[in-house]
Copies of this chain bind each other. A is one copy, B any other.
Amino acid sequence: MIKIGIVGGSGYTGGELIRLLLGHPEAEIAIVTSRRLSGTPVTDIHGHLSGLFDLTFENPSPEEIASACDLVITAVPHGAAMGIVPKLLESGTRVVDLSADYRLPVAVFEATYARAHTDPGRVGGEVDDQGAVFGLPELHPEVAGARFIANPGCYPTGAILSAAPLADAKMVEYAIFDSKSGVSGAGVEPSDTSHYPNLAENIRAYNITTHRHLPEIVQELGRLDGSLTSIHFTPHVIPAIRGILTTAHLLLHEGCDSGPSSDYDTILELYREFYKDKPFVRVRDYIPNLADVRGSNFCDIGLAFRDNRVVVVSAIDNLVKGASGQAIQNMNLMFGLPETCGLLTPPLSP
């Protein structure tokens, strides 16, 4: 059994890690940490798991965590991860980090998150084998050999997967990602955004040209097509707890709409071929929605084509494929397990 440590387990991603790992046949949770809640039974916070999980929040040192765990998943705020990840790695354990700290080149990170990076060497893999691998397994086979994964952001996961096949085919000239997210992505702390009277019967566009997840999208699509730089991203919060629906408006290069890729079937086939060995991406012949994937690690994709615009719609559960589920998918690959091991929890629908 792989022994798992969860650092920062009191939030939604912590709860989801526990929920999902409870059904994993090859992993068991050894430690769940919380500075604030040390000594409190985990199910006092995650009440829905009562009777299913017995651990108590602890607050051990990174070294103690590392010595007790084969893998540590860090679910701490941006900026906090780079304070603990080096100690964990240096103590010999493996790490999947859910924060943004290791996803971007240092300069981009510092510009985007307005803080200095204190562990720049591990970004980009310069410290031997401990450099961070961007943990989107569908695009990064090197996850399999990694000791340290930077788990992608929730929006980037849905956006990148929606456009990757066309980007890989060098067909996209201009990409606009218009995303609609459930509010759990904002965390457990009440805020004006999550205040029910502000969100119910409503939808809110925010950071409409400046959201911090844009650089991840640019980076990953740029790896597939270096000439694709016109990428825009506008997020919205909708009255939903879970899920991100991304509507990708992809304008194709001139000529792409009149060549062999010009019909719906051809483009759908391009997607099917691209994702044929990716068990968590389901290319659909209809437009998927959030209920198709709720609670599961799937990313469902559907599309339409008109003139030179392909509209691709992807649906994920932001807490699963957008965070905790993807972390476990990465874990499976890191430890040589089948990618889907313990992770085929069916979606909850209706």
The verdict on A203 contacting chain B, using a C-beta distance below 8 Å, is yes
Assess whether A247 is in contact with B208, with CB atoms less than 8 Å apart.
Answer: yes
Residues of chain A in range 230-284 having any CB-CB distance to chain B below 8 Å: 232, 234, 236, 238-243, 245, 247, 249, 251, 279, 282, 284
**Listed A/B pairs (30) with beta-carbon separation below 8 Å:** A15-B349, A22-B344, A47-B288, A47-B292, A48-B294, A48-B349, A49-B346, A176-B309, A180-B236, A180-B238, A184-B197, A188-B195, A190-B190, A190-B195, A194-B197, A200-B239, A200-B240, A201-B242, A202-B291, A203-B240, A203-B289, A204-B287, A205-B245, A205-B287, A208-B311, A209-B304, A234-B311, A236-B247, A239-B240, A294-B348
Once A19-B346, A46-B349, A50-B282 are accepted as A-B contacts, the answer to whether A309 and B198 lie under 8 Å apart by CB is: no
Assess whether A247 is in contact with B205, with CB atoms less than 8 Å apart.
Answer: yes
Once A234-B311, A311-B209 are accepted as A-B contacts, the answer to whether A48 and B201 lie under 8 Å apart by CB is: no
Residues of chain A in range 163-179 having any CB-CB distance to chain B below 8 Å: 174, 176, 178
Question: Which residue of chain B is the closest to A249 with respect to CB atoms?
Answer: B176
The 7 closest A-B pairs by CB, nearest first: A197-B350, A209-B306, A190-B190, A48-B347, A48-B349, A178-B178, A190-B195
A338 and B72 CA atoms in complex are apart in Å by: 33
A290 and B232 CA atoms in complex are apart in Å by: 24
Assess whether A287 is in contact with B198, with CB atoms less than 8 Å apart.
Answer: no
Question: Which residue of chain B is the closest to A12 with respect to CB atoms?
Answer: B350
- How extensive is the interface on chain A, given as a class? 35 or more
Assess whether B234 is in contact with A282, with CB atoms less than 8 Å apart.
Answer: no
Question: Which residue of chain B is the closest to A207 with respect to CB atoms?
Answer: B304
Q: Which of A204, A284, A349 has the most CB of B within 10 A?
A: A349
Assess whether B239 is in contact with A196, with CB atoms less than 8 Å apart.
Answer: yes
Residues of B within 8 A of A286 (CB): 47
Assess whether B22 is in contact with A201, with CB atoms less than 8 Å apart.
Answer: no
Residues of B within 8 A of A23 (CB): 23, 345-346
Once A197-B241, A208-B247, A251-B174 are accepted as A-B contacts, the answer to whether A348 and B295 lie under 8 Å apart by CB is: yes
The verdict on A335 contacting chain B, using a C-beta distance below 8 Å, is no
One digit per residue, 1 when the CB lies within 8 angstroms of any chain B CB and 0 when it does not, for chain A 89-123 equals 00000000000000000000000000000000000
The verdict on A293 contacting chain B, using a C-beta distance below 8 Å, is yes
A339 nearest CB across to chain B (Å): 13
Assess whether B289 is in contact with A209, with CB atoms less than 8 Å apart.
Answer: no
The verdict on A51 contacting chain B, using a C-beta distance below 8 Å, is yes
Assess whether A208 is in contact with B313, with CB atoms less than 8 Å apart.
Answer: yes
Assess whether A183 is in contact with B203, with CB atoms less than 8 Å apart.
Answer: no
A206 and B247 CA atoms in complex are apart in Å by: 11
Residues of B within 8 A of A347 (CB): 48-49
The verdict on A1 contacting chain B, using a C-beta distance below 8 Å, is no
